[in-house]
Amino acid sequence: MRTLQGVRNLDKLLEFAPLLGRGVLVTVGVAVLALVLATALGALGAAAKLSRNLIFNWVAQVYTTIVRGVPDLVLILLIYFGGQRLLNTVVQSFDGGYVEISKFWAGVISIGFIYGAYLTETFRGAYMTVPKGQAEAAKSMGMRPLPVLWTVLLPQIMRFALPGYGNVWMVLVKSTAVVSVIGLEDLVGLADKAGKATRAPFLFFVAVILVYLAITWVSQLALKYADERANRGQTA
Amino acid sequence: MNFDLVFKHWDLFLGGVWVTLHLTVIALALGMLIALPASLSMARNTRFSPLARGYVYVFRGTPLLVQTYLIYYGLGQFELVRDSFAWPLLREAWWCAVIAFSLNSGAYTAEILRGAIKTTPKGEIEGAMALGLSGRQVTWLVLMPSAMRRALPQYGNEVVFMLHGTVVASVITIQDILGVGRTVNAKYYIAYEGFLSAAALYMIITFVVVRLFRLVEQRYLKHLNLENVSARKSDSETGEVPVAVPAMR
Amino acid sequence: MKRPEFKKFALAAAFAAFATSAAADELNICVEGAYPPFSEINASGDVVGFDIDITNALCAEMGNSCKLVQSEWDGIIPALLEGKCDAIIASMSITEERKQRIDFSGKYYNSPGRFVAKQGHGLTDSPEGLAGKVIGLQRGTIFQDYMDGEMADVELKLYGTQDEVYLDLVAGRIDAAFADSIAISDGFLKTDQGKDFEFFGRDYSEEKYFGVGAGIGVRKGEEDLRDAFTAAIKTIRENGTYKSINDKYFEVDIYGG
């Protein structure tokens, strides 16, 4: 009797498999776009923290402090519901129409916002690891500031930031799971709904766990490869 | 804005703070109990180390939300589980959250401790052995206290992540800070006032925790006189909360 | 180009990357998705059920094209207020408390609330009969309002969806559930999992808590839309569309007296 129930549940999982596949795409989509946003915010944040402008310092500080203080799920709920109110107020004051923050973009913005703060620290740390003499030497050879940054510093910052960057990606992917709480139909959201609707949540959640483990595993392989490539020619 | 509704239910929020703190402390304590043997066995490649590694890999490699769902809704589905001795515990949302959070925190803590054990200076162990301490004494009186000290800054991060991780409890009916925020929102059909209040509470608690760790670090890491310890000191003077890269959550 | 228009254009362009803008002539309808048989998701991820069929019939009647917006029950009224949708069709009861925030069309069905528990429970539906027991219900519903108002001492467990209430009722984490009687009988008792469970106690329909049936929620000040829905409900009641939808799901007419 029990095995029979197990087999029936497997049927349900197979029935929903194409839908869950779509959910995986949404999960990866949110994660990748959030990483892009986080990278941009991280670069801006690091630049602001390293700059001599006190206002920039302060803004970056407030940013990283808020992220450090508030749980991801709370921030997502705030951005999805409160952010819409804010946006409506702003748009209406411009006599505009209506612009919606969809669940997908609420997820991307929230997660990108959160991990941008972590990348701020990663990038700042990587910048400070590059020996000062290198920039000075490049300048003394008559290079202008932008080429110094672009051709001398950036390649090294990227190399030093790579382990931290990879780490943030791994955390970020798992963080996308909480976007399901605002009803996004990512892998977790769909598995949750389907599992509860079919009254067979166990198998659906086990499937989700396996997919995340696969994502983690592939990411680790890719990072290892990238790390080896970035450090080729370096003595250990 | 309807913050009068939030203030009207301040007692609910106070209860939520208690639930959140209670859950965090229990999960961290049980997590530490799991992490001690797991980290030792990983660092020393004992017979159990594949098991420990597998456990750490699975719990660090998947979202806490899904782990909690699986334990709460997933296990409750089976009659086998419902008839078992574990059901009185698994029946309660509270214990499901405690189990999920402890296992999760245990995995992260084990990884932090493993790293700290690995970086123990050889001389410390050799010195202890030269004094004639037994293997067990070396482990528990020298190696682990020393590793745990060095793990303090990272463990501070883990404490904050666990505190923030407990918001997951609100999806399995527990009235933690976020749970209360959601209930108040739902009761009055308001959009975000409950969330904003919850965010403020989490922020205050985080600040207190970070400050406490700063004090503890200053006490126990003083002898190391590390550059980053003094850097941290100046951070605390400016009231700055540094953001650490999270340990794979 | 006049200035306000330019601003509007610039803003739209600025947000275009982050948002999707709703088309003007299309109605967005907030539905739920975990409340069988009124709304649930199927294997292709679509929401189906009585509420959805009613939505489609009303939209066809009104000559609007409608887009379904799946929303969590918790956030469904904020979603309407913030403009994520133009109407809620999600078995939402018309109550005085909700009317302070939104407006409603006439009802499209009405059924009483009831308690449900495992056979042989020995419970009665009074504060004394439920003392020391745990009652599960969906957060932010009329059933929560009733319990908060009339049985404040009975312990409640609040869930995000009705499906979760059933899961925990079967698992034995709650002693009883309190919900809409049709939702319970068709969404739970008639399913495999619900076969050992039964209703107990009386029908609950006091207007103070339970309102006057389920209506279609619209933002305040949108009387035209509200009246259009009310008229469309009347039409499908008269032309038999309602009956054919009703009979697809239920053995009795759930419109109520």
ipTM, 2 dp: 0.87
pLDDT mean over A191-211:
90
Choose from B55, B69, B206, B207 for mutation: most chain A CBs within 10 A: B69
A143 to chain B, closest Cα gap in Å? 33
Q: Is the pLDDT of residue B159 over 60?
A: yes
- Residue that wins the pLDDT comparison between A64 and A3: A64
Q: What is the mean pLDDT of residues A110-114?
A: 93
Res B107 pLDDT > 80: yes
Q: Any residues with CB less than 8 A from the CB of C6 and at least 6 apart, and which? A: none
Range(s) for CATH 3.40.190.10 in chain C?
Answer: 26-110+212-249, 113-210
pLDDT, mean over chain A = 87
Residues contacting A225, CB < 8 A, separation 6+: none
The string over A177-209, giving b where at least 16 C-beta atoms fall within 10 Å of a residue's C-beta and e elsewhere, is bbbbbbbbbbbbbbbbbbbbbbbbbbbbbbbbb
Q: How confident is the model at residue C2 (pLDDT cuts 50, 70, 90)?
A: very low
- The answer to whether residue C15 scores a pLDDT higher than 50 is no
C173 touches chain B (CB under 8 A): yes
Pick from C102, C139, C167: CB nearest B186:
C139
Residue in the structure block whose two tokens are 């400050």: B211
Please give the residue of chain A at the shortest CA–CA distance from C44: A19
Lowest mean pLDDT among A136-145, C34-43, C161-170: A136-145
Least confident of A146-150, C66-70, C100-104, C158-162: A146-150
Return the residue of B nearest to A73 by Cα.
Answer: B167
Distance separating alpha carbons of residues C195 and B207, to the nearest angstrom? 51
Dist. CA C53–CA C48, nearest whole Å: 7
Q: What residues have CB less than 8 Å from C226, skipping those under 6 apart? A: C103, C104, C105, C216, C218
Residue A203 identity (one-letter amino acid): L
The predicted structure's pLDDT at residue A188 = 94
Q: How large is the average pLDDT for residues A218-223?
A: 93
As to burial, measured by CB atoms within 10 angstroms (0-12 exposed, 13-18 middle, 19+ buried), residue B48 is middle
* pLDDT at residue C11 tops 50: no
Which chain B residues have a beta carbon less than 8 Å from that of A170?
248
Residue A81: pLDDT over 60: yes
pLDDT band at C45 (very low <50, low <70, confident <90, very high): confident
Q: Measured at the alpha carbon of residue C46, what is the angle toward residues C42 and C51, in degrees to the nearest 5?
A: 95
Q: What is the DSSP string of A105-165?
A: HHHHHHHHHHHHHHHHHHHHHHHHHS-HHHHHHHHHTT--HHHIIIIIIHHHHHHHHHHHH
Q: How many CB pairs under 8 A join B and C?
A: 49
CA distance C134 to C154: 7
Distance (Å, whole) CA B144 – CA A135? 43
Residues C122-173 have pLDDT tens digits of 899 999 999 999 999 999 999 999 999 999 999 999 999 999 999 999 999 9
Q: Interface partners of C (3+ CB pairs, < 8 Å)?
A: A, B
Mean pLDDT over C35-60 rounds to 93
Contact A77 B195 (CB under 8 A): yes
**Would you call B76 and C173 a contact, using CB atoms and an 8 Å cutoff?**
yes
Question: What is residue B249's three-state secondary structure?
Answer: coil
Q: Which partners does chain A have (≥3 C-beta pairs < 8 Å)?
A: B, C
pLDDT band at A87 (very low <50, low <70, confident <90, very high): confident
Taking CB atoms and an 8 Å limit, are B189 and C173 in contact across chains? no
Query: Min CA distance, B75 vs chain A (Å)?
Result: 7
CA atoms within 13 A on the CB side of B190: 19
SS3 state of residue A199: coil
Q: Give tens-digit pLDDT for B19-69.
A: 999 999 999 999 999 999 999 999 988 899 999 999 999 999 999 999 999
Higher local confidence (pLDDT), B227 or C216: C216
Cα–Cα dist C157/A15, whole Å:
32
Which of A16, A85, A91 faces C43 most closely, judged by CB atoms? A16
Distance CA B194, CA A74 (A): 10
Average pLDDT over residues B159-170: 95
Sketch the domain layout of chain B as residue ranges.
Answer: 3-238
Strands, sheet with C47-48, edge to edge from the N-terminal-most edge strand: C34-35, C39-41, C47-48
pLDDT (tens digit per residue) in B126-145? 999 999 999 899 999 999 99
* Band of pLDDT at residue C42, cut at 50, 70 and 90: confident
Instruction: Give me the domains of chain A, ranges plus CATH numbers.
Output: 2-230 (1.10.3720.10)
pLDDT at A89: 82
How confident is the model at residue A49, as a pLDDT?
93
C106 CB neighbour count, 10 Å cutoff = 18
Token digits for A228?
A: 């080896």
Paired sense of beta strands C197-204 and C39-41, if any: unpaired
Could you read off the pLDDT of B184-213 as tens digits, one per residue? 888 888 888 899 999 999 999 999 999 999
Q: Are A178 and B65 in contact (CB under 8 A)?
A: yes
Residues C173-208 have pLDDT tens digits of 999 999 999 999 999 999 888 999 999 999 999 999
Query: Is C96 or A230 the better-scoring residue by pLDDT?
Result: C96
- Name the CATH topology of C113-210: D-Maltodextrin-Binding Protein; domain 2 (3.40.190)
Do the strands C39-41 and C34-35 form a parallel or antiparallel pair, or are they unpaired? antiparallel
A12 versus C61: the higher-pLDDT residue is: C61
Percent of chain C past pLDDT 70, that is, above it, reads: 90
Question: Class for domain B3-238, per CATH?
Answer: mainly alpha
Nearest Cα residue in chain C from A183: C72
Whole-angstrom distance, CA of residue B218 vs CA of residue C252: 73
Confidence of residue A231 (pLDDT cuts 50, 70, 90): confident
pLDDT confidence tier of residue A34, bands split at 50, 70 and 90: very high
Give Rg (Cα) of chain A.
22
- Which of C168, B83, C48 has the alpha carbon at shortest distance from A201? C168
Return the residue in B172, B189, B190, B196 with the most chain C beta carbons within 10 A, the one to mutate for interface testing: B189
Predicted local distance difference test score (pLDDT) of residue A6: 53
Q: C26-110+212-249: CATH homologous superfamily?
A: Periplasmic binding protein-like II (3.40.190.10)
> Looking at residue B63, what DSSP letter applies?
-
Report the pLDDT averaged over residues A212-229.
92
Contacts of A222-231 spanning 24+ positions with Cβ under 8 A:
A223/A162, A223/A163, A223/A166, A223/A169, A226/A162, A226/A166, A227/A162, A227/A163, A227/A166, A230/A158, A230/A159, A230/A162, A231/A159
Residues B143, B123: Cα–Cα separation, whole Å? 11
Instruction: Name the residue among C98, C139, C167 with its Cβ closest to that of B183.
Output: C139
Q: What is the pLDDT of residue A13?
A: 84
User: Among all residues of chain B, which has the CA nearest to that of C101?
Assistant: B189
Enter the tokens of residue B162. Answer: 């666990």
Q: Give the best-scoring range by mean pLDDT among A156-160, A182-186, C234-238.
A: C234-238
Which of A65, A180, A188 minimises the CB distance to B241?
A65
- Mean pLDDT (chain B) is 86
* Separation CA C211–CA C205 (nearest Å): 7
Pick from A16, A80, A96: CB nearest C12: A96
Amino acid, single-letter form, for residue C142: I
Per-residue pLDDT band for B1 (boundaries 50, 70, 90) equals low
Show the tokens assigned to C192: 């495999």
CA A133/CA A77 separation, integer angstroms? 46
CA distance linking residue C66 with residue C49, whole number of Å: 16
Alpha helix ranges (H) inside B46-132: 49-61, 64-69, 75-76, 79-82, 87-90, 93-118, 122-130
